[in-house]
Amino acid sequence: MTQRAKTDVGDPGPGGRPVPATAHRGLTASEVAARVAAGEVNDVPVRSSRSAAEIVRANVFTRFNAIIGVLFLIILIVGPLQDGLFGFVIVANTGIGIVQELRAKKTLDNLAVIGEARPTVRRDGTAAEIPTAEVVLGDVIELGPGDKVIVDGKVLEADGMEVDESLLTGEADPVLKRPGEPMMSGSFVVAGGGAFTATKVGREAYAAQLAEEASRFTLVHSELRSGISRILTYVTWMMIPTALGLIFSHLFTLHMAGDDAVRRMVAGIVPMVPEGLVLLTSVAFAIGVVRLGRKQCLVQELPAIEGLARVDVVCLDKTGTLTEGGMDVSALRPLNGADEGRLRQVLGALGASDPRPNASLQAIIEAFPPDDAWRRTASLPFSSARKYSGATLDDPQGERATWLLGAPDVLLPPGDPALAETAGLNSQGLRVLLLARSDRELEDPSVAHGVRPAALVVLDQRLRPDAHATLSYFADQNVAAKVISGDNAVSVGAVAARLGLPGADAPVDARELPDGTDAMAGALEDGAVFGRVTPRQKRDMVAALQSRGHHVAMTGDGVNDVLALKDADIGVAMGSGSEATRAVAQIVLLTNSFATLPSVVAEGRRVIGNITRVATLFLTKTVYSVLLAILVSCWQIPYPYLPRHLTLLSTLTIGVPAFFLALAPNKERARPHFVRRVMRYAIPSGLIVGTAAFLTYLLARHHYAGPNALAAETSAATLTLFLAAMWVLVIIARPYTWWRIGLVAAMAAGFLIVLVTPWLQRFFELRLVGRTLPWAAVGIAVVAAALLELAWRWARRTLR
């Protein structure tokens, strides 16, 4: 798309472009002002994220904050305050979550302004760009290839304008638009250009509302989030009978005092709540957004970060991804004795006939300046589906002819001598276009049949300097890269080979691919480079790969990529790409650098890999809490812990370590079945830890006697619980680095400080009595650690 100037409403500014005298001049400044005063503006709110109030509400008013809040109030009533420490932890966690999400919101909002579509509007005879929200009823809006229709309207001018309405109607075939026909917001132009007048703006344009909803930053399906929600639902249902069982056994069976029974019940319920798990998930996503935002990567749907972590196939469009947008004409090769001077004039006239030239035609315009003596009488814009463009031209002598410019292997029949020369050039990685003359009218559907070849236009493609390193990264990460292009397969293969892509030496012509999904999937898994792919085929190829269980990412910048981007698991668009591609993609690379993509993949793997790790810590605590509550109810004995004990243990073995582990580097590719993977180790580890702590508690009840026996029993059981839970942390923290070892050591030192500091002993009511039981507690913890190791190995083996 040609570069356009940016301006404010009603003021085209110095960069405004005058409108031709024969075209619609648009509204006047006074008419615009009247419509703004009447409220006839395109005021559909486009939000890049939740509002600040929604973020605060979502973090504060949660199911578990309500539960913890009620329990905290109960402790404030029955006291002492140290048993209510868990309440302050929740406040701190909620505050951290709000701050991080607000940071992410600021980043997203700033990036969204940069990537916002700015339509070209005619006012007072001048065309200039304005923000989408400032379009008013009756505005005349210009359109070109790749432009998205932002409001409903009626066509005023059309120059071979073809519109894709598939995102609204499901019909994939482009619709040729003529003056007077309706335009639907949410559709986009695939060929040609024109202008239309806005007949419905703002909320009146229903399709515009659908487009705004589709491009808003949303929390779409995420296995991570849905898995955590499912786990929290299970926990909620377990808490109710557990709480009733604990309170009844302490009050009516053990005949404990009411305040003491309540404290023990709260102690049994609070650790069941994996309150930090939801927080850490939100924080990890938010920090991921901020990190990617610093690299000018706009994440339009937050779970896209997670989705890229699961990707095992990335489909790349050659043009704009592996190669830069610009091209250079390296040679003009006349065919069949054609006059080179006349061919240069024809090419110059063809270039001048298209008001919105693509990269190939722009290179031709730069190489062959137009001659004003040539006149265009009709034109056919380039389309990705037909692979050629054309024009009917009158030369200076008045002779009229139809000329076509496009792919040689599409315009020429098999076996034509020119194809052999084309193949040789393609094998060098060069792009070749055929200039041919047709004896048919340009409007004839068979205009490309029986053409007379006149010349080969050889274009040199500029490779992106970062493409080789990016492809190497995907190869190292076991992510298969598939180059899917509309260009000649041999040429695409040569470009890919220059970048070191494995399998580039065997390019496949997509016209020879089988039609069946399963057969196509097999060919796609075997090949790496595919040429002459139509837009519909791109979408079919994505579906075929998905049918084999692959998670597919699709990159692109042109309108021919829109359908595939929409259907891929993750769509990645370039910031300089068409408005349509940016609207349907989940991730937009505003710097247009393909090299940013590895950072997005790495960020996704960090998020999901680390959340899977820390979820195991949180759910181990939930499992052993439920087990302890069941065991003490069955044995009809007091719950061994007070809330302050479990707050201390949760902070040292889960809360603080989980925060650091959730933000650590992690390159492991995400695997499916999040809940199953987490619970495969959390359940056995929770059972082992809970059983070890309960055994120590039973031994202590037989060993200690006297008025302070319960405190001594609790201290011994707390020691076993801490050591066993610490070993879970030791396992989860692998592989070890200096900071991970330091983190584990710091948590162990924190507990040791509590045990040896008198005022902390009194505050937490922890004091080891004698030597026999403390060493027995350590011994039981050592046995538990050995069982935890066995359980970890079993879980890893079965999950493989």
* Tens digits of residue pLDDT in 262-308: 877 777 777 777 767 777 777 777 788 788 888 888 877 667 777 77
Tell me whether residue 711 is exposed, middle or buried, using C-beta atoms within 10 angstroms of its C-beta: 0 to 12, 13 to 18, 19 or more: middle
Closest by CA to 142, choosing from 237, 248, 33, 20, is 20
- Is pTM, for the whole model, over 0.85? no
- How far CA 70 is from CA of 63, 64, 141, 274, in Å, comes to 11, 10, 57, 16
The active-site residue, picked from 139, 159, 317, 561, is 317
* Tens digits of residue pLDDT in 544-599: 999 998 989 998 876 677 778 888 888 888 876 666 777 778 888 887 777 788 88
In single-letter form, the type of residue at position 156 comes to: L
Predicted local distance difference test score (pLDDT) of residue 541? 93
Q: Which residues of the chain have pLDDT under 70?
A: 1-16, 21-22, 44-50, 89, 93, 108, 110-117, 166-173, 205-221, 275, 301-302, 320, 325, 558-559, 576-579, 669-670, 799-800
Predicted local distance difference test score (pLDDT) of residue 302? 64
Domains of the chain, first to last: 17-45+118-205 (2.70.150.10), 223-288+604-799 (1.20.1110.10), 297-322+464-590 (3.40.50.1000), 327-461 (3.40.1110.10)
Q: What's the CA gap between 7 and 198, in Å, rounded?
A: 19
- Which residues partner with 484 through β-bridges? 530
317 is annotated as an active-site residue? yes
Asked whether the bond before 445 is cis by omega within 30 degrees of 0, the reply is: no
Tell me whether residue 473 is exposed, middle or buried, using C-beta atoms within 10 angstroms of its C-beta: 0 to 12, 13 to 18, 19 or more: middle
Residue ranges of alpha helices (H) inside 79-218 are 85-114, 166-169, 206-214
- Which residues partner with 187 through β-bridges? 185
Helix, coil or strand: residue 240: helix
DSSP-assigned letters across all residues of 401-414: EEEEEE-HHHHS-T
Predicted local distance difference test score (pLDDT) of residue 219? 41
Predicted local distance difference test score (pLDDT) of residue 528? 92
Q: What's the CA gap between 325 and 312, in Å, rounded?
A: 27
Q: What's the CA gap between 215 and 566, in Å, rounded?
A: 11
For residue 463, count other CB atoms closer than 10 A to its CB: 14
Planar angle of CA 773, 777, 781, nearest 5 degrees: 170
- How far CA 220 is from CA of 116, 223, 277, 587, in Å, comes to 21, 10, 19, 13
Q: What's the CA gap between 363 and 365, in Å, rounded?
A: 5
Closest by CA to 667, choosing from 604, 615, 730, 729, is 604
Helix, coil or strand: residue 301: strand
Q: What's the CA gap between 794 and 800, in Å, rounded?
A: 10
In single-letter form, the type of residue at position 646 comes to: L
* Length of the chain counted residue by residue: 800
Q: In what order do the strands lie in the sheet with 323-334?
A: 323-334, 452-463, 431-438, 400-406, 388-394, 375-380
